[in-house]
Amino acid sequence: MRILVTGGAGFIGSHIADALVSRGHRVVLLDALLPQTHGRQAPAYSSGHELVIGDVRDADLLGRLLRDVDAVCHQAAMVGHGVDPSDLPEYAGHNDYGTAVLLAAMHAAGVGRLVMASSMVVYGEGRYTCAEHGVVSPGPRDPAQLSRGWFEPACPRCGSALTSGLVPEDARLEPRSGYAASKLAQEHLAAAWVRQAGGSVWALRYHNVYGPRMPRDTPYSGVAAIFRSALERGEAPRVMEDGRQLRDFVHVRDVALANVLALEAGVAAGGFVPLNVCSGQPHTVGELAEALSRAMNGPAPVTVGGARAGDVRHVVASPQRAESLLGFRATVGFDAGVAEFATAELREPAASAGPAVVTSSSAAGD
């Protein structure tokens, strides 16, 4: 197959491109090289692929690129927790308007197969069970309680303690940040496109992705990169809350494999299929900090309390549907993956390397 990978020079997109080529597929990469996640020029690891520098919101450019394409792997997005609500227009512009332009261009070009990067953030909090009321959806945590060190959400009906479990794909969707809302809007746009145009979409809900080529030292970096940067400065990683918040840390090569399997699987049954892409082996944020400190022979993490607005307590997922429908199973273990990440190549964003000229705008990778 010939596949267009948007965000193809980014963290996840570049690994997908490499994996596709290793399996005999042809790729064309589209990336705008935004300074939040890129240096001044295309990364060296993209040099072996056909790379077009441009914006996924450029309908004319997409029309040209889609002429000889069998499927699209859509990774271009503005990612991360962001700074504050002033980021909202950027998230909506890059993620939602960009996806709308892409879907319209695919329809015009007659390209009906899409694999897209979604995220576990669409769930908000994960799956919780109350001993009395069964599965419940807790509301946002009370800032006053967070300030007192009460981090666990309570049952919204009786106030009792809850038990955290694995969230399935049919769980209630309740995004709690601008980025999360934009990812859910992407899913809604893609599902509407399926109903109107008869296309096929695999929406891959990534959990906490880490690994080589992560962007570093920006407000949009993942927690693994933030911890590593601190350790490289000789500082202890600063862990928020009590460090016991659960996440599923999945290696970028496993995420790339899930994308390849979805592209090779063909049409998604029912048209639109969301899938959790995770390791199936949850760990706490504190465990990640400890493992990385050991791997880098650095200072032990420091737990600092507090919580960012919009953060959730626990969100870990069931990998069963992805295994059943795609045959996907994560292969990189937590200890081995973190040990590799301790010395892996990361990317310096242009924003931290001095001023640079930006001619187009669409972030790459989730």
Catalytic positions: 179
Lateral strand order in the sheet of 316-317 = 134-136, 127-130, 163-167, 316-317
- Cβ atoms 296, 233 nearer than 8 A: no
SS (H, E, C) 186-255: HHHHHHHHHHHHCCEEEEEEECEEECCCCECCCCCCCHHHHHHHHHHCCCCCEEEECCCCEECEEEHHHH
Q: Using CB atoms within 10 A of its CB, is residue 271 exposed (0-12), middle (13-18) or buried (19+)?
A: middle
98's tokens: 């960009």
Assign 91 to helix, strand or coil: helix
Query: Distances from the Cα of 50 to the Cαs of 18, 31, 111, 256, 318, in angstroms?
Result: 12, 11, 20, 18, 36
Closest listed residue to residue 45, CA positions, set 16, 3, 78, 75 = 16
